[in-house]
Structure 1
């Protein structure tokens, strides 16, 4: 019999694993699912959410356990996992509490860049893939190290939802990525993801309005209304995955931010 292994997650909860390394893993967060794939856990991951679209083969083949906030607990129970990996913000706390009475549940809590690195390190440890995780972490750190940081900041509003408009506020990972990308978040003084009115957007006087591709799929047709509201602002569609996904997706972020800076004229 394997000895009980004890870990601490990013919510400072103790997670006990009777089976280590785990052989039956369920991932409840799209970005972390992609990271697990890049750790080489193809056989070990047995369940993902309907929003875990990367890698494509996993999305097509792995058992889906519902949405990130609307998990199908009976499907999860039938899969009988020996580790579930979730996130404080992405998942519903009541469902997580129900699951942790039956299975080991490890939770991430990511607001800052360093939190994302810590997540990768800890997930590497708990899944028995520490060397693979370390390699990805080092590549991420090197990629971000090559992104110039001494640049003038542009005032920006980052919108994630339509009708009502919702923005990324402070205490969010997106806020940290906006800062790294070269923006000053005009709604940083608001908590998490506040609803904002057209009047609030106008009063914030953003130089740039960034329309995210997720969770609401902003498209070209949404640009005109905001351009009319703030005629002096530059209104752009941006890749929401590269502003909000942590894990191995972060490898693509510095190059994307460089191109975005060039598009906006930040040098």
Structure 2
């Protein structure tokens, strides 16, 4: 199912919605659209913007959701994501939450449809339109630089990366950086080898979900003898309003290359 297919499932406009968001990046987006007062529940990973989410009740993680706590919050709308939330959990929540808003952005331009969807459903169209205009402008200014083969690492023990069929890979593609194919999984595990190292120009260590640090960068550079750099995982993987900063961050990476 593609993101545009999901947008075909229309939801009635809801100016007085009670929203539970199980997607950290979309919680941030809803706040940026002025909808924080309507958010009645969030995950513990929904940490931005800190001042606005502080008083919104937590309902567990993105996968270990407290269903009874959500029931007591009596939401009218639940916002979920195909990659981040588990379908059996969403199916249970759908038994008592009237409206389930399903999202699945898979490339940078999908942010336009995502923001328009949230603006349309929750009656924040003016702010959504303004954001989309700014995003379109930033996106038009991104140009691919020198082609690079990059291994984007998201976990250690075991080492894990991303496939080309991910939002992260499509963000990197905007500046001409491509991901090597490693197996069939979207988030494959791998082992370091001479062949793998030969196949990449540089390694990127993401700051999330694993908390890679400069110490990891130094150790891995000594081990593989290729450039290794730490990158901000939120800028690379958070869709929604953070994607605007993400595009600017990408331009900075390309300019520093």
Normalising by structure 2, we get a TM-score of 0.91
CA positional deviation for 1:186 = 1.5
- Match in the other structure for 2:188: 194
Contact 2:36 / 2:53 at 8 angstroms: preserved in 1?
no
Q: How does 1:27-106 map to 2 (within 5 A)?
A: 27-103=21-97, 104-106=99-101
Number of paired residues?
A: 254
Contact 2:172 / 2:250 at 8 angstroms: preserved in 1?
no
1:205 corresponds to 2:199: yes
CA distance in 1, matches of 2:190, 2:22: 29
1:219 corresponds to 2:213: yes
Give per-residue Cα distances to partners, 1:165-220, cap 9 Å, x unaligned: 11011211001011013311123774311111112873562111000011111012
1:228 corresponds to 2:213: no
- Match in the other structure for 1:3: none
1:132 corresponds to 2:130: no
Q: Which moved more, 1:180-189 or 1:86-95?
A: 180-189
- Match in the other structure for 1:112: 107
Distance 1:60 1:201, change over 3 A: farther
CA positional deviation for 1:128 = 1.1
Contact 1:140 / 1:251 at 8 angstroms: preserved in 2?
yes
CA positional deviation for 1:48 = 0.9
Contact 2:163 / 2:186 at 8 angstroms: preserved in 1?
yes
- Match in the other structure for 1:122: 117
Structure 1 unaligned spans of 5+: 1-7
Contact 2:160 / 2:187 at 8 angstroms: preserved in 1?
yes
Give per-residue Cα distances to partners, 1:100-124, cap 9 Å, x unaligned: 1211111101111232221111111
- Match in the other structure for 2:235: 242
CA distance in 2, matches of 1:102, 1:15: 19
Q: Which moved more, 1:130-139 or 1:186-195?
A: 186-195
CA positional deviation for 1:95 = 0.5
Contact 2:197 / 2:224 at 8 angstroms: preserved in 1?
no
Structure 2 unaligned spans of 5+: none
CA positional deviation for 1:44 = 0.8
CA positional deviation for 1:92 = 1.2
CA distance in 2, matches of 1:65, 1:31: 16
> CA RMSD, aligned part only?
2.1
Contact 1:15 / 1:106 at 8 angstroms: preserved in 2?
no
Normalising by structure 1, we get a TM-score of 0.88
Q: Which moved more, 1:192-201 or 1:241-250?
A: 192-201
Contact 2:212 / 2:230 at 8 angstroms: preserved in 1?
yes
